[in-house]
């Protein structure tokens, strides 16, 4: 009699064991992949902020020590900082024509649309610190809300730009009632946005171009990073 050549199938217990092992491996690998992606996005956001502030410093060097204003008005037309053509030519020297910061320099965690409306700064998700900025007082043609390099006594401790829902951001109080949100919602102007680290951190670039991530508590009623003029 010939020996049986039938192939023995897996038992139910063996199949369940394999499925359990696959589930365990997936539970280990998927979060790790998510963390790697989050780290990569955070690193890109940090790089983008650093480039924006570096361009702002060059802008100041070329404009008698005056930093990039948050807004420029010529007659009836107003240009916010992210549409300032002199600034964009510094930030993006290889582009022949642009009207705003391109997607490549958006905050990588920012939503391009918020409640059906395009996010502030055309989706860039970056806001300028506008505390202590001055107007030159002109009427029909004016550059306003700006600051000079010599007015910032501690550039390594003063916030220039941060992750935001608006193109400009303002100081918050101890209760966090003004100026920040952890949610991507329309109708919340001048707010710092906490998009990183599970919604617990916002990236901040200081006037010396170094970048840190900060918690909500570190923004609340903290003149060290908000108030630009220590000598006033």
Q: What is the pLDDT of residues 4-56, one digit of tens each?
A: 555 666 677 878 888 888 888 777 777 666 666 777 777 888 899 999 999 99
CB of 87 closer than 8 Å to CB of 55:
yes
44 falls within a domain: yes
2 falls within a domain: no
What is the rounded CA–CA span in Å between residue 193 and residue 35?
A: 20
Boundaries of domain holding 221: 14-226
212 falls within a domain: yes
Q: Is 210 helix (H, G, I), strand (E, B) or coil?
A: coil
6 falls within a domain: no
If one counts the domains in the chain, the total is: 1
pLDDT at residue 208, as a whole number: 95
What is the rounded CA–CA span in Å between residue 181 and residue 170?
A: 12
Q: For the whole model, what pTM was predicted?
A: 0.72
What is the rounded CA–CA span in Å between residue 75 and residue 117?
A: 27
3 falls within a domain: no
64 falls within a domain: yes
42 falls within a domain: yes
């Amino acid at each position: 009699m010939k020996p049986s050549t039938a192939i023995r199938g897996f038992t139910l217990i063996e199949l369940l064991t394999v499925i359990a092992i696959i589930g365990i491996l997936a539970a280990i690998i998927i979060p790790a992949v998510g963390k790697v992606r989050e780290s990569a996005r955070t690193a890109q956001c940090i790089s983008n902020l650093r480039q924006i502030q570096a361009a702002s410093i060059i802008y100041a060097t070329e404009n008698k020590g005056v930093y990039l204003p948050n807004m420029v008005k010529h007659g009836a037309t107003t240009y916010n900082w992210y549409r300032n053509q002199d600034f964009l030519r510094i930030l993006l020297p290889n582009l022949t024509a642009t009207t705003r910061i391109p997607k490549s320099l958006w905050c990588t965690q920012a939503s391009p649309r918020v409640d059906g409306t395009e996010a502030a700064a055309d989706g860039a998700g970056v806001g300028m610190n506008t505390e202590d900025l001055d107007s030159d007082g002109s009427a029909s043609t004016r550059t306003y809300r700006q600051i000079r390099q010599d007015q910032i006594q501690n550039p390594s401790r003063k916030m220039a730009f941060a992750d935001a829902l608006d193109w400009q951001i303002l100081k918050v109080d101890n209760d966090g009632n003004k100026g920040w949100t952890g949610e991507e919602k329309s109708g919340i102007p001048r707010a710092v946005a906490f998009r990183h680290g599970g919604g617990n951190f916002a990236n901040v670039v200081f006037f010396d171009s170094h970048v840190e991530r900060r918690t909500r508590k570190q923004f609340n009623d903290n003149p060290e990073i908000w108030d630009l003029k220590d000598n006033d």
